[in-house]
Amino acid sequence: MTPRLSLDRINQLSADTGQCGDMATPGRIDHSRPFVPEEHTQLYYTPLYATLSHEQRLRYNQLFGLRLNEYIMTLEAELIERLLAPLRLHPLVRNDTAMLQALDTMVAEERRHYAGFAAFNQVCRPDLYPPGSDRYFSRLPWWTQGMFSIVGWLAHRYAFALWYMMAMEESAQSLARDMLAQPRTETLGTLDPAFVALHHQHMKDEARHVHLDAWLIERCLDDRHAALNARLFMVMLQGVVRPTRGGSGAKVIRQLVRDRPELAPRQDELIGAVLALKDDRRFQASLFNRRIMPRTFELFDATPALTDLGNKMVGYDRRAEARTA
C-alpha cells in the first residue's frame, strides 16, 4: 500500500485536471446490460436470487445500481458536509492553510459528484427522478436526518463518524476498481460502460479524499475521547448493517415488482430475504472488509479503543501489527 499523501501533495493533485473526476455528462446508457457486479447487490446473498429469471435479475441489478448512486449521494450531501464544516474550527485544523484548502476542494468535489450521480439516474430513469427529485430509494426519514444533524453537532469533540466516512469513500474506490478490473458479471454479461465510466471518474477524487480522511482522523480523534468515540461509532454501525422494511434495499424490491408485475406474489418473500441478511455473515462481511478498505482497517488496528470492533463489524479481522494509514 502506498504511503499517505501529504496535504500539499493532495492539493497539487487536486489542481491537476487530469487527476480529477469529470462526471458532468452521463454517457449513453445501455439498458440491456447490468450496472454493478452482482456481488455488490443484496439479493445476490440470498437463495432467492437464483430463482429469478435473467430479465428479473437484470432489472434488479440496474435498480440496485441506481440505489448505490443514491447511497453515495446521501453520504456526500448529508454526512460529509455536516462533518467538515465544524471540523474546520478544530484547533489542529483551523490554522493549517493546506488542510483548509484541501477541505474546501473536497466539499466542491463532493457537490460535483452529487450532481453527476443525480444526472445519470435522471437520464436512466426519468420516471423515478422527475425534475427536482434527486433521490427515490434513499429519501431519509426525519429520525435519520436528525441523526446526521447530531453527528455534525458533535463533530467538534466526538468525530467518530470520520471512521465511517473514510470506510465508505474507500469502499466506493473498491467498487470502481472491481468494475474496471472485471467488467463481466457472474450471470448477467458485461457491465454498462457508461455506469463503469461514471464510477471511474468518481474514483479519481476519492483516491485523494481517503488520504485527507486519514489526516482528519489523526488530528480530530484524540485519545481523551477515544472510548466514547468508539462506542458511538459502533452504535452508528447498527443502523448501517441491518436492512429494514422501510430501507432502500426493500424499496428496490418494491420497484422491481412494479417493473416486473409477475413478481407481485413474491414481494413479501423477497423483502423477507433482504431483511434476513442482518444475520448473514457472508453478506455482512461484504460490507466492511480489509480487501475493500485496507487503509481504514489499518487505522482501526492502530486504535486500542476499537479492539472489540469485530463484535459489531463482522468483516473486521483485527491485526496486532498496524501501521498508520
pLDDT of 236 reads: 86
Q: How many domains are there within the chain?
A: 1
Is there a domain that residue 143 lies in? yes
Dihedral angle over CA of 59, 241, 180, 270, nearest 10? -20
Is there a domain that residue 280 lies in? yes
Is there a domain that residue 23 lies in? no
E strand or H helix that includes residue 60: helix 54-74
The answer on pLDDT for 82 being more than 70 is yes
pLDDT of 241 reads: 81
> 177: how many CB neighbours lie within 10 A of its CB?
15
pLDDT of 144 reads: 67
Which of 54, 22, 39, 17 lies closest to 197 in space, CA to CA? 22
Distance CA 86, CA 304 (A): 26
DSSP string, 258-307: HHSGGGGGGHHHHHHHHHGGGG-HHHHHHHS-TTT-HHHHHHHHT-GGGT
Is there a domain that residue 133 lies in? yes
Q: What share of the chain is helix, strand, coil (3-state, %, to 5)?
A: 65, 0, 35
Q: What is the mean pLDDT of residues 269-280?
A: 97
Is there a domain that residue 268 lies in? yes
Between 15-24, 207-216, 233-242, the lowest mean confidence (pLDDT) is in: 233-242
Is there a domain that residue 12 lies in? no
* Confidence label for 295 from pLDDT (cuts 50, 70 and 90): very high
Is there a domain that residue 57 lies in? yes
CATH of the domain at 132: 1.10.620.20
Is there a domain that residue 319 lies in? no
Q: The domain containing residue 76 runs over which residues?
A: 29-311
Reported pTM: 0.94
Identify which of 5-19, 142-156, 218-232 has the greatest average pLDDT: 5-19
